[in-house]
Structure 1
Amino acid sequence: MNERIVPPGEGRAADPNVGSNLRKLRKAKGLSLQRLADESGVSVGMISQVERGLANPSMRLLTSLRRALNISMQELFGEDPVAEPTTTDPNFVRRKANRPVIDLGTLHKELLTPTDQRHLQLMILRLEPGGESGGKALSYPAEKGGLVLSGRVILSVDGEVAELAGGDSFVFDSVSPHFLRNTSDAPAEVLWIIGAVQFDRHL
Structure 2
Amino acid sequence: MLKIIHECGDNRAKDRPMDEAFDVGARLKQLRLSRGLSQRELAKRAGVTNSTISLVEQNNVSPSVSSLKKILDALPVSISAFFAGDEPSQPQSFYRQGELTEIGDGQLSWQLVAARRPDRRMSIIYERYPPGADSGEEMLEHDGEEGGVVVAGQIEITVNGEVGVLSAGDAYYFDSRLPHRFRNTGDEECVIVSASTPPTFSDAGQEQHHA
Separation in structure 2 between the aligned mates of residue 175 and residue 47 of structure 1, nearest angstrom: 27
Is 1:125 matched with 2:138?
no
1:39 Cα shift? 2.1
The aligned amino acid for 2:150 is V
133-142 or 172-181, larger mean C-alpha shift: 133-142
Residue 158 of structure 1 contacts residue 176 of structure 1 at CA under 8 Å; is this kept in 2? yes
Separation in structure 1 between the aligned mates of residue 40 and residue 197 of structure 2, nearest angstrom: 31
**Which aligned pairs between 1:176-195 and structure 2 lie closer than 5 A?**
176-195=178-197
Which stretches in structure 2 are left out of the alignment for 5+ residues? 13-21, 207-211
Residue 136 of structure 1 contacts residue 176 of structure 1 at CA under 8 Å; is this kept in 2? no
Q: TM-score, normalised by structure 1?
A: 0.79
Structure 2 match to 1:29: 35
Which one of 68, 76, 79 corresponds to residue 70 of structure 1? 76
Structure 2 match to 1:108: 109
Which stretches in structure 1 are left out of the alignment for 5+ residues? none
The aligned amino acid for 2:55 is Q
The 1:93–1:62 alpha-carbon spacing in structure 2 relative to 1, beyond 3 Å, is: farther
Aligned alpha-carbon RMSD (Å): 2.8
The aligned amino acid for 1:95 is Y
Q: Secondary structure at the match of 2:41?
A: helix
The aligned amino acid for 2:205 is H
The aligned amino acid for 2:126 is I
CA offsets 1:168-200 (integer angstroms, 9 cap, x no match): 211122333322111222111112333339899
Separation in structure 2 between the aligned mates of residue 163 and residue 34 of structure 1, nearest angstrom: 40
Residue 147 of structure 1 contacts residue 170 of structure 1 at CA under 8 Å; is this kept in 2? yes
Q: Secondary structure at the match of 1:69?
A: coil
Is 1:91 matched with 2:94?
no
Number of residue-to-residue matches in the alignment: 193
Separation in structure 1 between the aligned mates of residue 137 and residue 180 of structure 2, nearest angstrom: 5
% identical aligned pairs: 30
Residue 137 of structure 1 contacts residue 175 of structure 1 at CA under 8 Å; is this kept in 2? no
Q: TM-score, normalised by structure 2?
A: 0.76
**Which aligned pairs between 1:35-74 and structure 2 lie closer than 5 A?**
35-74=41-80
The 1:113–1:73 alpha-carbon spacing in structure 2 relative to 1, beyond 3 Å, is: farther
The aligned amino acid for 1:143 is E
1:12 Cα shift? 3.8
The 1:94–1:72 alpha-carbon spacing in structure 2 relative to 1, beyond 3 Å, is: farther
Separation in structure 2 between the aligned mates of residue 145 and residue 107 of structure 1, nearest angstrom: 18
The aligned amino acid for 1:101 is E
Separation in structure 1 between the aligned mates of residue 181 and residue 141 of structure 2, nearest angstrom: 15
